[in-house]
Amino acid sequence: MVIAQIPSLEIKAIVGLGNPGPTYAKTRHNIGFLIVDALADAYNGSWQSKNNMETCSIVIHDKKIMLVKPMTFMNDSGKILPFLSKQGIKQENILVVHDELELPFGSIKFKFDGSAKGHNGLKSLMACGGSNFLRLRFGIDRPQNRDDVPDYVLAKFKESQNNIDDKINQAVLTITQYLS
């Protein structure tokens, strides 16, 4: 992971994208939730429900970070932006963690700005505030048939739980390194 090629931003919030409820808990589309849950666990955070989201405050390298899981379903993730704005968190202070079809399983890449590439959670965030935010793209592979994408992203991982946990831990380490 080459972190030097992305801008050095003051991250104040990490938003994990996913869908609420047990039906979606361990699906590919919920990797953002799984990664921010792992961050909360690693830094002894506890979640509170607020309006249409769950939030958790942690400290990484002496920096206070708000973790956020929108509880609006993926297509309405942008509805959390007014709350973050009221907290003094601008869009350029947000790291969004999401699933990425264009990357092999477990690949992790940062990206700043750019298009949503069909990702409805990113589309919602951009519609509510623009694209001026950092992303951690977590690879989930892509099905061969484009028509299978909606079912594919909402399906459970085919990889072993140990492999998934290892990749999630790698994402947590990558985020921690970026914030140092």
CATH number, domain containing residue 156: 3.40.50.1470
Q: Is the model's pLDDT at 84 over the cut of 90?
A: yes
- Domain membership flag for residue 7: no
Token pair of 159 as six digits: 């990889």
The answer to whether 169 and 138 have CB atoms below 8 angstroms apart is no
Does some domain include residue 4?
A: no
pLDDT score at 115: 79
- Residue 5: pLDDT band with limits 50, 70, 90: low
Residue 28 lies in a domain: yes
Does residue 8 sit within a domain? no
Q: 108: domain range?
A: 13-179
Q: According to the model, what pLDDT value does residue 2 have?
A: 43
Whether 75 is covered by a domain: the verdict is yes
pLDDT confidence band for 1 (50 / 70 / 90): very low
| Position 1 in a domain | no
Q: Is the pTM of this model over 0.85?
A: yes
Average pLDDT over residues 138-158: 91
Q: Which of 29, 61, 98, 119 is catalytic?
A: 29
Judge whether 6 lies within some domain. no
Concerning whether 29 is annotated as a catalytic residue, the answer is: yes
Any idea which of 28-42, 51-65, 107-121, 165-179 has the lowest mean pLDDT? 107-121
How far is it, in rounded angstroms, from Cα 153 to Cα 58? 29
Q: Answer yes or no: is 163 within a domain.
A: yes
Q: Which of 5-9, 53-57, 174-178 has the lowest mean pLDDT?
A: 5-9
CB within 8 Å of 70: residues ≥ 6 apart: 15, 17, 18, 52, 53, 76, 77, 79, 80, 121
Our count of domains for the chain comes to: 1
Q: For residue range 31-76, list pLDDT tens digits in order.
A: 999 999 999 999 999 999 988 999 999 999 899 999 999 999 999 9
